[in-house]
Structure 1
Amino acid sequence: MTPHQTSKASPGRSITLLSVGHACVDVYQGAVASLVPFFVSERAYTYAAASGIVLAASLMSSVVQPLFGALTDKWAMPWLLPVSTMVSGAGVALAGVGGSYALTLVAVAVSGIGIAAYHPQAARVARNASRGSHTAMGWFSLGGNLGFAVAPLMVSPVIATGGLPASPLLIVPAVAGVALCSAALRGVKAPAAVTAAARASRAIGGDDWASFVKLSGAIVCRSIVFVGLSAFISLYASRRTGAGDFSGTAALFVLYLGGAVGTVAGGKLATRHGRIPVVQWSYALTILAVAGVVFVPGPLLYVFVALTSAGLYVPFSLHITLGQDYLPQRVATASGVTLGLAVSAGGIVSPLIGAVADATSLQTALAPLIALPALGWLLLRTLNEPDMLHSATGQPPPSPQPDPAADATTRP
């Protein structure tokens, strides 16, 4: 009997709840950067001080994720979803209270820890709820991308109206997220038969660290390209098109729009063609697309920004499921790395791009980004689907179904 037949829970409803809950958490990743202009104007922070706030939040939300992944691989902690959701919101809500820079750093760092604690456990629950569906995992990832994108729409009206002391109002998405996470956990159940099958599968299938490291290296390349373009595409587009600030804002919007289209498209394409081919072709497309962004002037630039967006976002959710399948014994750890640590590399390299731009030109600084998706493609070209790896050894493929701790993991 298949897991679709044995489970009474609705995977569509559970994934929807998890996706919207994901948005309620990731809105706080974008919220910190959205608060920076208000810190500068109301507290007279220098740019260095403001960047320190963003760095504190991003380091905690990214670098700490693998640690929480290792913990949730060892112990099932379903309660971590609602608790981490509330912590992520509380940190941002308190960031505007008082005027102490040190306390502000602590507040955003606490928010970052909440975000770090949420993602490995949430990705594991989403994997269970999706029952191996790449499209479903795409919807889960889409929620996070949308949450990040709408953060300025949440922060700006609140803080522009009430100032930084109004930041406690920003707790509202976290409260909604707690309710959504709790409902999702109640809806995701792992039948005994499915759990036993997953236990047997994981007992046979070992972790493929070599493939996982290559995949993580490719994700780092993708992250540097995305963060680098996010930081400078607005200014670059306004100069290349000669159309002023609006053209730069439009270019940034097109780049982010790929999160809504590409993430879901990636899941659908992978269902038809397989994950590895889709990821490989996405990186190949990104090579040409970034070259167009760097060297093509005028309105045609927007076409290449859109192609770059597609190339960067189509493999987003596939990175997560591939990482989980390469490390079937450490699903949450894999999620923490693919969603956190590898993605943080872009933020570390971004200041270097700015330094090169100051010393030369923005076009010169962005040109090396063309080589990074090429390097990612080289890392990916030797990878096989995880089930193919096991087939080659004569062992059954690892199940896309829940892990041994699924019963405990998905029940509050």
Structure 2
Amino acid sequence: MPNNRTSSHRRPIALMSLGHACVDVYQGAVAALVPFFVSERAYGYAAASGIVLAASLLSSLVQPLLGALTDRWAMPWLLPVSTLLAGGGVALSGVMGSYPLTLAVAALSGIGVAAYHPESARVARGASRGSHIAMGWFSLGGNLGFAAAPLVVSAVIATGGLHASPLLAVPALVGAALCVAALRAVRAPAAATAATRAGRAGGRDDWASFGRLSGAIVCRSIVFIGLSTFISLYVRQRTGGGEVSGTVALFVLYLGGAVGTVAGGRLASRYSRVTVVRWAYALTVPAVAGLVLVPGPLLYLFVVLTSAGLYVPFSLHVTLGQDYLPRRVGTASGVTLGLAVSIGGVASPLIGAMADATSLQTALAPLIVLPALGWLLLRPLHEPDLPEAVTGRPVSSTQPETGAAAPLRP
């Protein structure tokens, strides 16, 4: 049963979740297009991963800046505009005749994604009144968009080739309409302003904890984007399957986030968020090892486990970041959803260059270590105090949302 805070805001959160899905189709679409760029344009691993870098790099730089701006001014108009920008860039990527132009429109899509997330996270926080479960549903929408991306891209591009990419603008048109409806339902400016004022009135910024959390998210980001970029090609090699086997693997990697994100919100309502995040990082280490080292169809099991480990902490990263920086909710959202997430794309060309020089398996092997490094960064963290004005009641830093005692650290 959802609590009263979640159920009373069900409609705006549902609309925002659906809009989030439409936007994050384009985060997943860039990686899903990589095999088609390799096959139709004969790009090498490094060149193909450069397209992912183009989308990620500007997104990484822009999101913290926009987060800082939304701390000062509510900008709800960014939601529909950024959705159209994200879709437009991907839609144009298949019809650009040169590699530099392809990089440019991929970067345009990255800017659109960057512009969406900080303000949307602020609006969702205001609508959810700090509920971990409600924020989990909001994040779920983005994860479903990621999961749908390889299927949508494959259906369009496998049928009509890269020149059919303008059809990929359809989710952006739907998403922009959903964003407008969500803003009307939640009264975004008032909600965002109320959340910001509540944070400023109720807490102190803990930059040290926020820095450690961001470092762990960077480790998670490199693993996730590295696998997103190359898993389709890798699974084809390891299983001997064709394009379908690679598309299925990417779909499974993304779809596991649907279960993982909701599970993360519910586990955080029973245990502390920090404990749940630590366990997720610890369990991701053997999961990634199995994905990289185990051959044959059994590899798909480790794709599922890796997906769960990477996604269980996803929405918890956002709420923890916001609660570590209660006076700078937009900045926290921009970093946890932006810089620290998309920065993993910077590592993709390095992975691609190593794959060109050695093998794809050798290039992916270092990803096994990164979740362990993230776990080490998370070890000293504590559960932040939640401002009473945001949650509607005081919550102790040692108590989860339900009021049950938090377990010992892993």
Sort the TM-score into its range (normalised by shorter chain).
0.7 to 0.9
Corresponding residue for 1:54? 52
Q: What is the deviation of 1:33? A: 3.7
Superposition pairs of residues 8-407 of structure 1, within 5 angstroms: 10-36=8-34, 50-97=48-95, 99=97, 101-162=99-160, 164-189=162-187, 199=197, 202-234=200-232, 236-237=234-235, 244-245=241-242, 250-297=248-295, 300-360=298-358, 362-387=360-385, 399-400=390-391
Q: What is the deviation of 1:186? A: 1.1
**Is residue 386–residue 397 contact of structure 1 (8 Å, CA) maintained in 2?**
no
Q: Deviations over 1:243-284 (max 9, x none)?
A: 544665554443333112101111111111121111011111
Which range moved further: 165-174 or 138-147? Answer: 165-174
Q: Partner amino acid for 1:399?
A: V
Stretches of structure 1 lacking an aligned partner (at least 5 in a row): 391-395, 402-412
SS at match of 1:383: coil
**Is residue 294–residue 366 contact of structure 1 (8 Å, CA) maintained in 2?**
yes
Q: Deviations over 1:93-115 (max 9, x none)?
A: 34445635554443332222111
Q: Partner amino acid for 2:204?
A: G
Which range moved further: 252-261 or 333-342? Answer: 252-261
Q: What is the deviation of 1:163? A: 5.1
Which range moved further: 144-153 or 80-89? Answer: 144-153
**Is residue 196–residue 328 contact of structure 2 (8 Å, CA) maintained in 1?**
no
Distance in 2, matches of 1:193 and 1:62, equals 26
Q: Deviations over 1:356-407 (max 9, x none)?
A: 44555555444432322111111111111111xx8xxxxx667347xxxxxx
Q: Deviations over 1:159-202 (max 9, x none)?
A: 45555554433322222111111111111148999977973552
**Is residue 289–residue 305 contact of structure 1 (8 Å, CA) maintained in 2?**
yes
* Cα distance change on mapping 1:248 and 1:102 into 2, 3 Å: closer
Q: What is the deviation of 1:304? A: 3.2
Larger CA Rg, structure 1 vs 2: 1
Corresponding residue for 2:406? none
Q: What is the deviation of 1:86? A: 1.8
* Cα distance change on mapping 1:105 and 1:371 into 2, 3 Å: closer
* Cα distance change on mapping 1:345 and 1:91 into 2, 3 Å: closer
Q: Deviations over 1:13-69 (max 9, x none)?
A: 111100110111111223334445555666676766554433222222233111111
Distance in 1, matches of 2:343 and 2:192, equals 37
Q: Partner amino acid for 1:30?
A: G
Which range moved further: 44-53 or 87-96? Answer: 44-53
Q: Partner amino acid for 2:273?
A: R
* Cα distance change on mapping 1:35 and 1:209 into 2, 3 Å: same
TM-score normalized by structure 2? 0.82
Q: What is the deviation of 1:221? A: 1.1
Distance in 2, matches of 1:268 and 1:113, equals 32
**Is residue 23–residue 86 contact of structure 2 (8 Å, CA) maintained in 1?**
yes
**Is residue 328–residue 398 contact of structure 1 (8 Å, CA) maintained in 2?**
no
Which range moved further: 185-194 or 14-23? Answer: 185-194
Q: What is the deviation of 1:87? A: 1.9
Aligned residue pair count: 389
Q: What is the deviation of 1:153? A: 2.9
TM-score normalized by structure 1? 0.82
